[in-house]
Amino acid sequence: MLKRSKIYKFLAFSFILSSLFGVVIYTQLTNRHKAIIKTLLLHKTGLVDSDWHINSNQKEYRMLSPTFVIDGIYKSMEGPKASRYIQLNQSDSLVWITGFDVNAIDAKTNEILPNDFICHMNVDINDAQYYSHWKLENRIGKQYPRMTSLSHGLEHFDFPKGYGVPIIGSDYLFITTQTLNHNQPDIFKKVKHKVSVKYETYDKTQKPLMSKTVYIQLPFDKFDPFKGPLDPASNQCIPVETKNHTYCDKTGNLLSGHWVIPQGKKTYRSSITEQLQIKDSARLHFSAPHVHPFATSISLFDKTENKTVFTCDITNYKNKIGLKKIATFSSENGIWLYGKHEYELVMTCDNTSKADQDMMGSMFLFFYDKELDEKISGS
């Protein structure tokens, strides 16, 4: 039988060995996964505030995120993040979502910080619950259930007057907010995100919008995905990774929605006709783009008519890496898209840095939802 002292020595040795093994594994993780582990430990141990703070009224649902510790460079989709479910109210009444807002604040002073610390704020719906309520079960699973996303350069927007996304007040929305830091490697800063969902009561005059997500997908060599250099005239890309944002077309070719851009200017384009799923025609009223730094514009292009439907210009900071402003498309009258037309997303980039950078290009498109309008009005 082992003596107690030997048991303690064995336990101590096992602890040291497992700790060393954990450190080795941790050092091999990506920056994104390191951030997940650090944030989890900081929140679980209570070293930083891990609670969401809620303050809502009849026109706005406001949240203050847990504390995020920024301790180094975090590029797009790498920084500390937090998620939670929310209900705009506790009733079965119909409300109309009219806009969104996110700000970064200093966790100690409550001072509003630059948008440098905002990566994105996602709003997801439960599409099974949402469409079942309206008896539109044929829509379930047809689109990625993300209503929209705010991101670096587009930290707030409002839908055109008289339009919005209808939702039952007690239905759940899933909110995720994530931090960013492109420019300050030597930093230790505690940050929170202030998130707002704007809404109003239904007065029978508002028109419903339906969100559809479209994004650029570029082919890559599935046998050697990270090879280079690529033919400058090719639409092929080098993916950032092959585990996330990787898709497969009908012929078995692999496509990436998160790819590497070289230095200099380049244009990327991708068909979005299948993503749009337009049967006959649809009237578009709003678009919220999502791009990464060094993008300079993103356009919806009608390939059938060989013309640009609209372009959202993108302004980069000149003295640092980051997006100053991403323009949206917004129209009360709307513009028509047609089921028999072919459409593309076209994005221009100008990588003025001295290294390759990562890129994404997508749009959240909001169409007038005639079918849902008839369900709500009872006509």
Q: Are both 317 and 269 inside the same structural domain?
A: yes
Task: Tell me which of 160 and 45 has the higher pLDDT.
Answer: 160
Which of 181, 205, 229 is at the close of a domain? 205
Judge if 195 and 216 occupy the same domain: no
Does residue 22 fall inside a structural domain? no
Q: Average pLDDT, stretch 171-187?
A: 96
- Dump pLDDT digits (tens) for 228-256: 777 777 788 999 988 888 998 888 889 99
Q: Give the span between the Cα atoms of 64 and 69, in whole angstroms.
A: 15
Looking at the predicted structure, is the pLDDT value of residue 21 above 60? Answer: no
Q: What is the pTM of this model?
A: 0.90
pLDDT category of residue 73 using cuts at 50, 70 and 90 = very high
**Residue 23: inside a domain, yes or no?**
no
One domain for residues 121 and 234: no
Q: What is the mean pLDDT of the chain?
A: 90
Write the DSSP assignment of 205-259 as a string of letters.
--EEEEEEEEE--EE--SSSTT--PPPTT-----BS-SSSSEEE-TTS-EEESSE
Q: What's the pLDDT at 10?
A: 56
Cβ contact 90:168 at 8 Å: no
Q: What is the mean pLDDT of residues 361-379?
A: 92
Do 201 and 101 fall within a single domain?
A: yes
**Confidence check: pLDDT of 23 > 90:** no
Give pLDDT tens digits for 120-160: 999 999 999 999 988 999 999 988 899 999 999 999 999 99
- Domain span holding position 303: 211-377
Structure tokens at 231: 């033919």
Average pLDDT over residues 77-91: 93
Tokens of 113: 């910080």
The pair of three-digit structure tokens given for residue 357, joined into one six-digit string? 């950078």
